[in-house]
């Protein structure tokens, strides 16, 4: 398993995480098999947004004395008042469900307390006016939660919340189809019509959000990595080509800021399929054939696909481009962590021999040689 640091929290997450929605309503044996397989394979982070007592109890029981081995994202505002998934911004209700979460799991802490479903300006206003942000801050101060997170599908609202500085981790819906959906479009309501959408380019607001997270040390965990399964089917994918699970995971993991993809599983076999990503050769992770039809619009912009490898001097070209993009957000204030990451690379822009092999292979006409020079200039010479 590979692990990535969760921003400034001191925690590290496995790059494959567990989405547990599909465990809802399942018998205990299924929950146990899935959770145990996840732990066995080194998965150490899971999302638990479901409000029902039974599934929460089953997960707590399956974790047993390995509770400390799993980072749990638990949500503040996820309720089932009308016997189905629902959102509440009422403080007493939020408290009641969050306290029940602790009780159901048989634990006295939640690793990441998530401000649930922050998809609208109204939700943003309500979490402040109804005391929900104060509640989360108090939980963190008391050590009941170790970090504050949020879940969102809306890049504009998410950015507004991140800019308050209270959020350590954001769970966000990321896949190539959603990334090419304009920021103002509600991806959930259009999910059924993805095939009818016109994809032009990666939406700049979404791309900026990911870079902003990496710049600010806010970790991203990913939901909807497989687009609800639609991206795995040529018939249902808007790209009219089926992606594989490793390709979808690789796309998410190569976005700036991303630390883990939460893959929904309901059996040991599905957990094994998800972690198989780790042993998938680079050429089978490559998602270029899916989005390369959009190179006209993406021209010159790196999408961190690694299609340009191998480099004869072993420069991780996608990574250099990623750090360069983040630094370019504000060249006067390059985060020390990004500068450090760049300097820790085994080979950097300074090693480029300008052979041009990579530029011939890049479908997006990225000026790689120039970028290598610029990266060296920004991170080392200036
Ligand atoms: S031009 Fe530079 S970065 Fe590209 S393959 Fe050659 S050495 Fe590597
Ligand atoms: S430079 Fe081109 S081929 Fe290389 S990672 Fe970026 S987009 Fe992909």
CATH of the domain at 146: 3.20.20.100
Task: Look at 206-215, 228-237, 305-314 and tell me which has the smallest mean pLDDT.
Answer: 228-237
Residue nearest to atom 3 of ligand 1 (CA): 352
CA distance 117 to 161: 12
Per-residue DSSP letter, 188: T
Closest CA to 322 of 218, 159, 207, 221: 207
Tell the residue nearest (CA) to atom 4 of ligand 1.
358
Q: For residue 155, how many other CB atoms are within 10 A of its CB?
A: 26
Q: What distance in Å separates the CA atoms of residue 377 and residue 341, rounded to the nearest whole number?
A: 15
Q: How far is the CA of 250 from the centre of ligand 1 (A)?
A: 22
Q: In terms of C-beta density within 10 A (0-12 exposed, 13-18 middle, 19 or more buried), how is residue 18 classed?
A: buried
The answer, yes or no, to whether any atom of ligand 2 lies below 6 A from the CB of 307, is yes
**Both 148 and 69 in a single domain?**
yes
CA 260 to chain centre: 6
Predicted confidence at residue 195, as pLDDT, reads 52
Domain membership flag for residue 29: yes
Q: What residues contact 361, with CB distance under 8 A and at least 6 apart?
A: 307, 308
pLDDT, residue 200, reads: 61
- The domain boundary, picked from 273, 290, 307, lies at 290
177-181, 292-296, 342-346: the lowest-pLDDT one = 292-296
pLDDT confidence bin for 380, thresholds 50/70/90: confident
What is the percent of the chain where pLDDT is above 70?
Answer: 95
Question: Do residue 323 and residue 283 come from a single domain?
Answer: no
d(CA 208, CA 226): 22
Closest CA to 66 of 47, 44, 88: 44
Closest CA to 4 of 284, 243, 261: 261
Residues 151, 250 share a domain:
yes
CA dihedral for 321, 166, 98, 80, sign (positive or negative)? negative
Please give the number of the atom of ligand 1 that sits closest to the Cα of 353: 7
Give domain status of residue 223, yes or no: yes
Task: Choose which residue among 251, 294, 321, 359 to substitute to test ligand 2 binding: the one with the highest number of ligand atoms within 8 A of its C-beta.
Answer: 321
Is residue 115 domain-resident? yes
Q: Do residues 149 and 112 make contact, with C-beta atoms less than 8 angstroms apart?
A: yes
**Does residue 299 lie in a domain region?**
no
Rounded CA-CA distance 53/321 in Å is 46
Which ligand has the nearest atom to the CA of 318?
2
Q: Quick one: pLDDT at residue 330?
A: 86
Ligand 1 atom nearest 351 alpha carbon: 7
Does some domain include residue 366?
yes
- For atom 7 of ligand 1, the residue with the nearest CA is 352
Q: In sequence order, which residues have a C-beta less than 8 Å from that of residue 245 and are 6 or more positions away? A: 226, 232, 263, 273, 274, 276, 277
pLDDT of 303 > 90? The answer is no
User: Within this chain, do residues 23 and 68 fall inside the same structural domain, yes or no?
Assistant: yes
Range of the structural domain that residue 212 is part of: 3-290
| 318 CA closest ligand 2 atom index | 5
- Nearest-CA residue for ligand 1 atom 6 is 355
- Going from the Cα of 369 to the center of ligand 1, the distance in angstroms, rounded, reads 7
Instruction: Give the helix/strand (H/E) hosting 277.
Output: none
Residue 345 maps to a domain: yes
Kindly state whether residues 150 and 64 are assigned to the same domain.
Answer: yes
The answer on 326 and 286 residing in a single domain is: no
pLDDT at residue 191 tops 60:
no
**Final residue in a domain of this structure, among 272, 290, 308:** 290
Q: In this structure, are 81 and 148 located in the same domain? A: yes
**Closest ligand by atom to 350 CA:** 1
* C-alpha 351 to ligand 1 mean position (Å): 8
For the Cβ of 375 lying below 6 angstroms from any atom of ligand 1, the answer is: no
Q: How many CA atoms lie within 13 A of 117 on its CB side?
A: 16
pLDDT of residue 348: 94
Residue 296 in domain: no
Q: Which two tokens stand for residue 274?
A: 């998800």
User: What is the rounded average pLDDT for all residues in the chain?
Assistant: 91
Are 326 and 220 in a shared domain? Answer: no
Are residues 249 and 366 part of one domain? no
- Going by CA atoms, what residue is nearest to atom 2 of ligand 1? 352
Contact 220, 174 (CB under 8 A): yes
Question: Does 369 sit in the ligand 1 pocket, CB within 6 Å?
Answer: yes
The model carries a pTM of: 0.88
* Atom from ligand 1 closest to the CA of residue 369: 1
| Structural domains in the chain (count) | 2
Q: 344 and 262: one domain? A: no
pLDDT for 196 beyond 50: no
Q: Does 355 contact ligand 1 (Cβ within 6 A)?
A: yes
For ligand 2, whether the C-beta of 50 sits within 6 Å is no
pLDDT-derived band at 296, boundaries 50, 70, 90: low
Do 253 and 327 lie in one domain? The reply is no
Which of 89, 116, 115, 113 has its CA nearest to residue 102? 113
Domain assignment present for 308: no
pLDDT of residue 189: 65
**The residue count for the chain:** 382
**Ligand 2 centroid to residue 109 C-alpha, Å:** 42
- Of 83 and 12, the one with more pLDDT: 12
Give pLDDT tens digits for 322-332.
999 889 888 88
Same domain, 65 and 156: yes
Beta carbons within 8 Å of 53's beta carbon, 6+ residues apart = 100, 104
Residue 272 scores a pLDDT above 70: yes
Q: What count of other Cβ atoms lies within 10 Å of the Cβ of residue 365? A: 13
């Amino acid at each position: 398993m590979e692990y990535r640091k969760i921003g400034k929290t001191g925690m590290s997450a496995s790059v494959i995480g567990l989405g547990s929605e599909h465990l809802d309503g399942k018998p205990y044996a299924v929950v146990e098999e899935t959770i145990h397989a996840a732990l066995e394979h080194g998965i150490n982070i899971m999302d638990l947004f479901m409000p029902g007592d039974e599934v929460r109890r089953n997960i707590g029981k399956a974790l047993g004395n390995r509770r400390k081995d799993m980072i749990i994202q638990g949500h503040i505002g996820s309720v089932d008042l009308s016997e189905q998934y629902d959102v509440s911004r009422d403080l007493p209700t939020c408290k009641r469900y969050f306290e029940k979460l602790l009780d159901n799991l048989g634990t006295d802490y939640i690793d990441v307390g998530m401000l649930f479903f922050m998809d609208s300006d109204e939700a943003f206003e309500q979490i402040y006016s109804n005391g929900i942000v104060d509640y989360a801050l108090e939980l963190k101060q008391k050590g009941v939660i170790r970090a504050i997170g949020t879940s969102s599908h809306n890049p504009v609202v998410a950015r507004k919340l991140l800019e308050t500085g209270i959020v350590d981790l954001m769970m966000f819906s990321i896949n190539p189809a959603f990334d090419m959906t304009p920021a103002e479009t509600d991806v959930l309501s259009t999910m059924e019509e993805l095939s009818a959408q016109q994809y032009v380019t990666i939406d700049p607001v979404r791309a900026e959000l990911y870079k902003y997270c990496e710049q600010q040390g806010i970790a991203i965990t990913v939901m909807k990595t497989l687009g609800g399964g639609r991206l795995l089917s040529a018939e249902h994918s808007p790209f009219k080509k089926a992606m594989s699970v490793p390709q979808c995971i690789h796309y998410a993991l190569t976005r700036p800021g991303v630390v883990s993809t939460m893959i929904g599983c309901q059996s040991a076999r599905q957990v094994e399929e998800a972690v198989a990503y780790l042993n998938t050769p680079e050429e089978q992770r490559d998602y270029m054939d899916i989005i390369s039809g959009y190179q006209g619009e993406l021209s010159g912009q790196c999408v961190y696909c690694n299609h340009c490898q191998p480099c004869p001097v072993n420069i991780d070209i996608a990574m250099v481009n990623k750090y360069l993009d983040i630094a370019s957000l504000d060249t006067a204030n390059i985060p020390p962590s990004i500068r450090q990451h760049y300097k820790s690379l085994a080979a950097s822009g300074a090693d480029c021999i300008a052979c041009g092999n990579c530029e011939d292979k890049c479908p997006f006409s990225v000026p790689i040689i120039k970028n290598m020079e610029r990266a060296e200039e920004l991170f080392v010479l200036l």
